[in-house]
Amino acid sequence: MKKFNKLNLYIKILIILIKKYSRIIFIPFGIISFIATLGTTTPTILGIKNLHLWIAAFSLPLAILIILIIIKKPFSEIKKIKEGEILNIDEIKNLHLTPKIIIIGLSNVGKTTLINSFFHERFAKSRTQNIEGRIKIHKNQALCLIDMSGEQIYHAYQVLKLANFIVLMVDHSESHSSKKIVLSRQSDVRDFIEKIKDNVDGNYDDKKSIPSLFIVNKKDLWSESAEKSKEALQSNYKNIYKEWKNYFGDKSEYIEYTNKNDYDEKISSAVILDKICEGVK
């Protein structure tokens, strides 16, 4: 179990709660302290006028705060922030403090494998059916990584609503072993991105600037492809990335990547997590 300092989360939640209910908490204080300052012939206890009222003025907000904590259970989110904790869509929606990182892309690009690698698990065993969140603690920052099935575009639309960070994965071919660069795969990626943009255009006014990573995955397989087709692949994806960046903002980065550990120039998955943490700061 990773060490994770939750104290700052408790403080953050307390501040949010106090701000949200500031009227209920501070109006009684204002009224009682106003009454306590009135009048000249008021009783003096221990040299302080209306000491009993002042005690009430200070203890009432505290009591109200305690009652709010009992009723609203604001700290329940912290219990869920545990390394590896798996969350369904409703639980993900209830996270207010943890940045949500969505991993989107066509089916078989390697989304689930990437997420698993953050937990030092090997390749994905089964197909992703639903939207699933998983908590990752990286360098004392909690992240909620959200996986989806690439076959269902409405999953991507659903997770887009939640995103604080987007990881878009693309590849040269649907296959996990073929070195052949498939042109139709690149046009499928274009279509996928167009659908994502249309959805954002249709639904949000202020969602256009989201930090992101544009990951071209399965680099291990293109190393032996003909030099020309490799260059064409890179230049096509760099162009698609440029359009992506124009749309989603400057806080984005293009990376050529592989999930395969035995690949010589492998960027470690921890570097990807570093970039995500930097992006959500």
Ligand X SMILES: Nc1nc2c(ncn2[C@@H]2O[C@H](COP(=O)(O)OP(=O)(O)O)[C@@H](O)[C@H]2O)c(=O)[nH]1
Q: Which residues bind Mg ion (CB under 5 A)?
A: 111-112, 128
Name residues contacting ligand X, limited to 212-241 (CB under 6 A): 217-218, 220-221
Q: Least distance in Å: CB of 280 to ligand X?
A: 22
Q: Least distance in Å: CB of 109 to ligand X?
A: 4
> Of 22, 76, 107, 246, which lies in the binding site for ligand X, with binding defined by CB under 6 A?
107
Count of residues that bind ligand X according to CB under 6 A: 20
Q: Least distance in Å: CB of 257 to ligand X?
A: 7
> Of 212, 225, 252, 259, which lies in the binding site for ligand X, with binding defined by CB under 6 A?
259
Name residues contacting ligand X, limited to 114-173 (CB under 6 A): 123-124, 128, 150
- Type of residue numbered 191: D
Contacts of the segment 44-48: beta carbons below 8 A, 24+ positions apart:
none
Q: Least distance in Å: CB of 33 to ligand X?
A: 59
Q: For residue 186, what are its two tokens?
A: 């690149």
**The dihedral of CA 48, 50, 51, 57: what is its sign?**
negative
- For ligand X, the closer of residues 22 and 107 by Cβ is 107
Contact 275, 211 (CB under 8 A): no
**The dihedral of CA 95, 97, 101, 102: what is its sign?**
positive
From residue 265, alpha-carbon distances to 110, 250, 270 in Å are 18, 26, 14
Residues 6+ apart with CB under 8 A from 30: none
Q: Would you tell me which residues interact with ligand X (CB under 6 A)?
A: 105, 107-113, 123-124, 128, 150, 176, 217-218, 220-221, 258-260
